[in-house]
Amino acid sequence: MLISLAKQINFLILSASIKFIGPSLPLYFSMRRYPVKKGMIDQKKMENAFLLELSRLLPHEKYKYTIVADSGFATIHFMEQCQKQGFNFVIRTPEKWNIEIDDCKGSMKELEKENKDWKVKLKSGKLETRLVTSFNEDGQGWYIFTDLEEASFNRLIEEYKGRFQCEKMFQDEKSSVFEIEKSKIEKYSRFKRLLFCMYITQGLMMFVGD
């Protein structure tokens, strides 16, 4: 399951989608009016409400779910909320963290740029997680946090690559297909109905093979 945060016109949108063929398939969204001043929206509360409602909508008896998200969600709070609501997580992270590996403390920036799997504690000591590092020959790559204990290195990289299907979905919404960025709608309720209809249409288009 892929999670994204986006600004569309005058609104802030959190959406969840599922990997499919081509773009991901929209599943659930919530939105707020985009704040005109800093601090007008408590993103933690927005994320809490989003994950809680998403968990309620999904059957948990026979299925397990993994949240795949970009670095905007790389916080201890978000990872703990994922676990609280019954989700695993695979989240790309910037190098900002101070970490502890085998009682040795330091910055992630000090790690060698190589393909490796680490067991780390984050700077607050509140959360233990796997840190997967993956780099190409030019030293470009990813730092990824995950709590999937049994998943192989290659599987985790493939899981994260699935997030780009979510980016394709957003591209279709904003510009290449639906061109919602050109919408003149400013009223919250009307834009929400438009977004709902667009997600339904995306799902139908996928199932008919368009």
CA separation for the pair 143, 22 (Å, rounded) = 25
DSSP state of 163: H
Place of tokens 């990997």: 19
Q: Which range has the worst mean pLDDT, 67-76, 109-118, 156-165, 169-178?
A: 169-178
CB neighbours of 103 closer than 8 A, spacing ≥ 6?
Answer: none
Give me the domains of the chain, ranges plus CATH numbers.
2-207 (3.90.350.10)
CA separation for the pair 63, 119 (Å, rounded) = 26
Residues 104-122: tens digit of each pLDDT: 788 888 888 888 888 888 8
123 pLDDT more than 70: no
Q: Where residue 55 falls among pLDDT bands split at 50, 70, 90?
A: very high
- What's the rounded mean pLDDT across residues 125-139? 82
Residues 62-120: tens digit of each pLDDT: 899 999 998 889 989 999 999 999 999 999 988 888 888 877 788 888 888 888 888 88
Task: Tell me the whole-structure pTM to 2 decimals.
Answer: 0.84
Q: Which helix H or strand E contains 168, and what residues bound it?
A: helix 163-171
- Cα angle for residues 13, 3, 119 (degrees, 5° grid): 140
